[in-house]
């Protein structure tokens, strides 16, 4: 029938109750009675075993039935969902049916899947019916045909006037009986303007409870409902007024490289090669659903705009929609309406003659029936999607859309992007519906920008400024931006304004607070009190109706905030220009941690801090270098570390300790507290806390170093360098009292632990003696076995034998005597050979020696690096990794001579 735009039937169960549970219970009983009525039409008695389950998605029913006349047995399942039923329902039911046939070979099976099985399951069910005459599959269309053939309901053709254009025919199951309804659609807009309801005869009026329940249902949302018999008797009332359409706004891109208030337009997009390649594969596939998963500010919207360009270059059509205006389920249908019409205007497809935008299902069916002019994709992408989760019904519509699109054979791509850091429900509707979208979608995980991407942005910044960036400023931008595109652009914009508008030098900029909190504070600094109040109000309730805000605040105030781009208009609503800014306004804090790296150990900077403190707390680097015998360049690196840790103020030419430290009653304690305060807001410390929660028995430096690169995506470093960073952080955590460093592992500190070490006094720990084996055992063993009991003058020995003797002295196998003489220690040799017991005792006396031997006994294949790290950490030595490798290698060799079963690693 041409005047019906969409002929696929739906089945809706309407029931009333005082509570949601009562409504569900009533729906279950009505559906059970309906299935029983159908089965009676096929000759079966009332069900004698039943199980009814009502969920938020629909109704599930299992029944066992038999015929007292034919003695025939049957089992039946009924599933009435809001979307097509998964194919698994067929395989599950058919498996149970065949199991039952072991006992009753003539058992019949009836599967009612409403509205129908998904495409694959639908075809499989029809095939099963052809091969198994005792299996019967009923979808909504077949159920309606059965009811029509038995005159239990009346057809659309016989009930609805021919001059009306209609869609979405539906069967209503109610306590009052079976009724039918359909949507009348406007011939111009093709949106629903009225719902008509009728019974199985032209004379019978539809009971008011049925009309009321239908008005309250999702089917008739915001659409008037009328009894068809009354509509016929009162033709003057057939004047329809269409409800206002939801507002659909597309995502706007930036107009320059560093316009951080908007996502990057494709022409300003940088890097992300691996993700772009994955998106290219999706465009090439041309159909299905996908999800961009990322935290706030990691570039989801920029990727969506880049994807739009990729689709357009593939001669398709793409629309990127801002989901923050989605305030009702009708938003989904309207989005499809706009996307399809735009695609038609772009020459991608031709819409069918009888289109309908009256519901989600009719909209998807309209796109399904469209004729593609060229085989290129239609992309509909919903950005800022986390706001949708505030409304269950709207979320459900999007879930249904994802399921329906996956069944289309047409080249339709459906994309979503939401923030993983805010969508974290573990129960309730968003969690379940969100995961159902994910389950049927290709997931793409978006991380922060990598080091190469940040480098590309740095080069663009240099091009914009017309000058190279100073190393210190370059490093600050790299580290503080943390791989977040918007944060880099905000910081870069700040640099451009300060240099070009205020004639500041790069060195001056580094001395200022280049962090996002200072920029947010600068955003607020120029506002009047009423403007600050208005922007905080919007942040608290965002996205909030513009009308509501302008009722509370003067329009001039709101326009001023819009002009400053602190607020943005999203349809008829207002929001802050960035969600992180919104969090700052609501909490007073920025949910972003420091992310600079530290490569210097506390003992490495202690001489500098001690010297500066002893000379008034302020010394020029040019004077400090000769005093400490250090190069000015190395002192610049020390100065940077001290500034980052909150110990000194910014000055490129001097090292100046903060007055709050020098003037404190206990300067060392004040310094330790300051370092602890800084490190607590650092990513490296947050990472350590997460690791210690999972590993309460200690986090090894090796595993900590392995995790660090994920916390510093914009830093490109070699594995050995990450190990140095890990050890440096660990030693600073120990100094600040935030962790305990023992046996190459970090532990949660005890309640009374205040920290280890000193920076101001620069006194070495007397319990630590950095003496280790720096040579293979061969020459030393041969020398010891050739020694006589009499003392020997060390100064008379050649160089190679002196080196061999030093190892023996370290192990206590040779003793130093007065006058530069040496003598073999008692028990060092037995029967002319080196005593293994004496050698083990000597190895155990070394700092970390016992732990290293224990590691080798537990695993004879423990590597030289692992042994070297154990010894280095126990001695708190400032060895490079290459030195640790060598020390560990020699220790393994000495342990093998001592009789340990050392094996290759």
CA Rg value for the chain: 38
Q: What is the dihedral of CA 530, 536, 538, 542, to 10 degrees?
A: 180
Q: Return the beta strands (E) in 82-153 as ranges.
A: 108-114, 135-138
Rounded to whole angstroms, how far apart are CA atoms 872 and 811?
17
CB atoms inside a 10 Å sphere around CB 120: 12
**Chain CA centroid to CA 665, Å:** 46
Rounded to whole angstroms, how far apart are CA atoms 182 and 189?
17
Q: Which residues pair with 62 in a beta bridge?
A: 51, 77
How do residues 752-808 score in pLDDT, each as one tens digit? Answer: 888 988 998 865 443 334 467 878 999 999 999 998 888 888 878 888 888 888 889
Q: Which residues pair with 81 in a beta bridge?
A: 58
Q: Which of 741, 727, 743 is nearest to 849 (CA)?
A: 743
Give the CA count within 13 Å in the CB-facing half-sphere of 285: 14
Q: Which two tokens stand for residue 152?
A: 């239990």
CB–CB of 107/97 below 8 Å?
Answer: yes
Rounded to whole angstroms, how far apart are CA atoms 62 and 791?
98
Rounded to whole angstroms, how far apart are CA atoms 269 and 346?
25
CB–CB of 117/87 below 8 Å?
Answer: yes
Largest CA distance in the chain: 131
Give 793-810 as a 3 state SS string: EHHHCCHHHHHHHHHHHH
How do residues 432-482 score in pLDDT, each as one tens digit? Answer: 788 888 888 888 888 778 888 888 889 999 999 999 988 778 877 887 777
Rounded to whole angstroms, how far apart are CA atoms 381 and 571?
17
Which pLDDT belongs to residue 771? 64
How do residues 114-159 score in pLDDT, each as one tens digit? Answer: 999 998 899 999 999 999 999 999 999 999 999 999 999 999 988 9
How do residues 174-225 score in pLDDT, each as one tens digit? Answer: 999 999 999 999 988 899 999 999 998 887 889 999 999 999 998 988 789 9
Going by their DSSP bridges, the two strands 288-294 and 442-445 should be labelled as: parallel
Going by their DSSP bridges, the two strands 10-13 and 166-174 should be labelled as: parallel
End-to-end CA distance of the chain: 79
Residues 6+ apart with CB under 8 A from 753: 737, 740
Q: Which two tokens stand for residue 246?
A: 């939801």
What rounded mean pLDDT belongs to the chain? 85
CB–CB of 104/73 below 8 Å?
Answer: yes
CB–CB of 557/530 below 8 Å?
Answer: yes
Ordered mean pLDDT values, 10 residues apiece, the chain (905 residues):
66 91 90 89 78 77 83 89 89 93 91 91 93 94 92 90 90 94 91 92 88 91 86 53 76 85 86 90 92 80 93 95 87 95 95 91 93 95 82 88 92 87 46 81 84 88 90 78 78 84 76 61 85 92 86 87 76 74 78 75 89 91 86 86 87 87 92 91 88 87 88 77 89 93 83 86 48 84 89 83 87 81 88 89 86 88 89 76 88 92 84
**Packed helices 392-405 and 360-368: angle between N→C axes, nearest 10 degrees:** 20
Q: What is the DSSP letter of 161?
A: -
CB atoms inside a 10 Å sphere around CB 864: 18
Residues 6+ apart with CB under 8 A from 459: none
Rounded to whole angstroms, how far apart are CA atoms 362 and 699?
57
Q: Which two tokens stand for residue 121?
A: 């399951």
**Chain CA centroid to CA 341, Å:** 33
Rounded to whole angstroms, how far apart are CA atoms 605 and 603?
6
Q: In 137-207, where does DSSP find H-type helix?
A: 140-149, 156-159
Rounded to whole angstroms, how far apart are CA atoms 512 and 651?
11
């Amino acid at each position: 029938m041409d005047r019906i735009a969409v002929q696929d039937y739906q089945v809706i169960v309407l029931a009333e109750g005082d509570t949601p549970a009562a409504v569900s219970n009533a729906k279950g009983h009505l559906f059970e009675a309906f299935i029983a009525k159908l089965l009676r039409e096929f000759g079966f008695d009332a069900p004698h075993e039943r199980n009814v389950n009502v969920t938020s998605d629909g109704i599930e029913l299992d029944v066992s039935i038999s015929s007292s006349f034919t003695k025939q047995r049957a089992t039946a399942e009924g599933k009435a969902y809001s979307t097509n039923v998964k194919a698994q329902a067929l395989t599950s039911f058919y498996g149970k049916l065949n199991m039952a046939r072991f006992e009753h070979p003539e058992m019949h099976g009836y599967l009612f899947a409403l509205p129908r099985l998904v495409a694959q399951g639908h075809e499989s069910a029809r095939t099963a019916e052809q091969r198994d005459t005792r299996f019967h599959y009923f979808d909504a269309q077949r159920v309606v045909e059965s009811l029509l053939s038995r005159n239990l309901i009346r057809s659309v053709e016989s009930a609805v006037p021919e001059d009306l254009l209609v869609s979405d025919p539906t069967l209503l199951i109610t306590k009052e009986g079976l009724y039918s309804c359909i949507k009348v659609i406007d011939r111009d807009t093709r949106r629903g303007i009225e719902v008509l309801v009728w019974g199985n005869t032209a004379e019978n009026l539809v009971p008011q409870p049925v009309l009321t329940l239908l008005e309250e249902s999702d089917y008739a949302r915001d659409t008037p409902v009328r009894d068809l018999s009354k509509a016929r008797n009162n033709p003057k009332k057939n004047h329809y007024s269409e409800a206002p359409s939801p507002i659909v706004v597309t995502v706007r891109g930036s107009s320059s490289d560093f316009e951080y208030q908007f996502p990057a337009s494709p022409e300003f997009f940088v890097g992300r090669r691996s993700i772009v390649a994955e998106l290219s594969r999706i465009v090439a596939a041309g159909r299905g659903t996908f999800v961009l998963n990322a935290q706030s500010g990691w570039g989801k919207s920029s990727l969506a705009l880049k994807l739009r360009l990729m689709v357009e270059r593939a001669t398709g059509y793409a629309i990127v929609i801002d989901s923050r205006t989605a305030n009702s389920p009708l938003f989904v249908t309207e989005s499809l309406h706009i996307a399809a019409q735009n695609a038609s205007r772009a020459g991608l497809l031709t819409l069918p003659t009888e289109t309908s935008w009256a519901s989600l299902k009719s909209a998807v069916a309209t796109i399904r029936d469209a004729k593609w002019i060229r085989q290129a994709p239609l992309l509909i992408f919903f950005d800022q999607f986390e706001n949708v989760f505030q409304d269950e019904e709207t979320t459900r519509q999007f879930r249904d859309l994802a399921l329906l699109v996956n069944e289309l054979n047409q080249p339709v791509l459906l994309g979503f992007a939401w923030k993983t850091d805010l969508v974290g429900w573990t129960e309730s509707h968003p969690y379940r519906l969100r995961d159902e979208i994910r389950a049927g979608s290709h997931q793409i995980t978006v991380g922060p920008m990598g080091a190469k991407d940040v480098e590309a942005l740095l080069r663009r910044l240099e091009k914009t400024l017309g000058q190279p960036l100073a190393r210190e400023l370059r490093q600050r931008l790299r580290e503080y931006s943390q791989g977040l595109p918007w944060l880099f652009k905000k910081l870069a914009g700040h640099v451009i304004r300060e240099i070009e508008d205020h004639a500041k030098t790069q060195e001056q900029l580094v001395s200022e607070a280049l962090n996002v909190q200072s920029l947010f504070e600068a955003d607020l600094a120029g506002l009047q009190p009423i403007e600050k109040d208005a922007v905080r109000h919007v942040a608290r309730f965002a996205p909030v109706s513009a009308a509501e805000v302008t009722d509370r605040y003067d329009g001039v105030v709101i326009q001023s905030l819009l002009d400053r781009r602190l607020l943005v208009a999203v349809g008829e609503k207002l929001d802050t220009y960035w969600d992180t800014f919104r969090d700052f306004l609501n909490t007073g804090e920025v949910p972003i941690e420091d992310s600079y790296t530290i490569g210097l150990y506390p003992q490495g900077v202690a001489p500098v801090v001690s010297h500066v403190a002893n000379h008034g707390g302020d010394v020029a680097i040019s004077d400090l270098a000769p005093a400490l015998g250090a190069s000015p360049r190395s002192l610049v690196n020390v100065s940077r570390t001290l500034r980052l840790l909150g110990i000194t103020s910014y000055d490129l030419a001097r090292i100046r300790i903060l007055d709050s430290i020098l003037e404190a009653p206990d300067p060392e304690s004040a310094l330790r507290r300051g370092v602890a305060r800084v490190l607590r807001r650092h990513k490296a410390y947050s990472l350590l806390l997460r690791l210690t929660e999972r590993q309460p028995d200690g986090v090894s430096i090796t595993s900590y170093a392995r995790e660090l690169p994920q916390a510093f995506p914009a830093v490109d470093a070699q594995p050995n360098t990450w190990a140095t960073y890990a050890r440096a952080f660990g030693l600073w955590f120990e100094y600040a009292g935030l962790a305990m460093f023992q046996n190459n592992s970090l532990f949660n500190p005890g309640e009374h632990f205040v920290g280890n070490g000193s920076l101001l006094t620069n006194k070495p720990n007397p319990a630590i003696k950095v003496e280790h084996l720096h040579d293979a055992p061969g020459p030393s063993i041969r020398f010891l076995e050739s020694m006589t009991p009499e003392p020997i003058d060390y100064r008379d020995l050649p160089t190679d034998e002196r080196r061999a003797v030093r190892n023996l002295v370290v192990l206590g196998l040779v003793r130093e005597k007065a006058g530069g003489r040496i003598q073999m220690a008692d028990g060092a040799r037995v029967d002319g050979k080196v005593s293994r017991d004496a050698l083990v005792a000597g190895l155990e006396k070394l700092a970390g020696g016992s732990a290293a031997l224990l590691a080798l006994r537990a695993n004879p294949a423990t590597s030289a690096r692992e042994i070297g790290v154990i010894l280095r950490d126990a001695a708190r030595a400032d060895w490079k990794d290459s030195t640790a490798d060598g020390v560990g290698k020699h220790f393994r060799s000495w342990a093998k001579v001592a009789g340990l079963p050392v094996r290759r690693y």
